[in-house]
Each structure stands twice: as structure tokens, then as C-alpha cells.
Amino acid sequence: MTKKQIAEITKLVDQILEQRGLLKKPSLHPDVEKFAGIIPKEVEVRKEYFEHIEEKHK
């Protein structure tokens, strides 16, 4: 089996277990949860960050 095939099977098994309620996703820390979703989806975070760093170090 290739790595890609193994990854696909793993993803499929995870989906099945999640659908049946047998796979628990780790919960976020309350501090992280508090801020989750406050940045609009249309903002390109990586781009904004690198532009900020570039400007800061001119």
C-alpha cells in the first residue's frame, strides 16, 4: 500500500467512527474557544501576518 492509500483508509475509518459517535475529537482549551471565529473568513491571515512582519522589519 502507498502512503496515499493508507491516508485515505485512515480518513475513511475516522469518518465512520465519528458518524457512530465512537471518535472523540479533542476539545479546544477554553481560552482558545473564546477567540475562535472572531476573524472573518475572508481575511487572509497568513498574508496579513507576513505583510505586518515585513513592514515591521523595514
Contacts of 45 (CB under 8 A, 6+ apart): 39
Whether 6 contacts 12, CB under 8 Å: no
The predicted-structure confidence for 20-40, as pLDDT tens digits, reads as follows 888 777 778 888 888 888 888
pLDDT on residue 18: 85
Contacts of 1 (CB under 8 A, 6+ apart): 9
Does residue 40 or residue 49 have the better pLDDT? 49
* Residue span of the structural domain in which 29 resides: 3-56
Provide the whole-model pTM: 0.41
pLDDT > 90: percent of the chain: 45
Give me the number of domains the chain comprises.
1
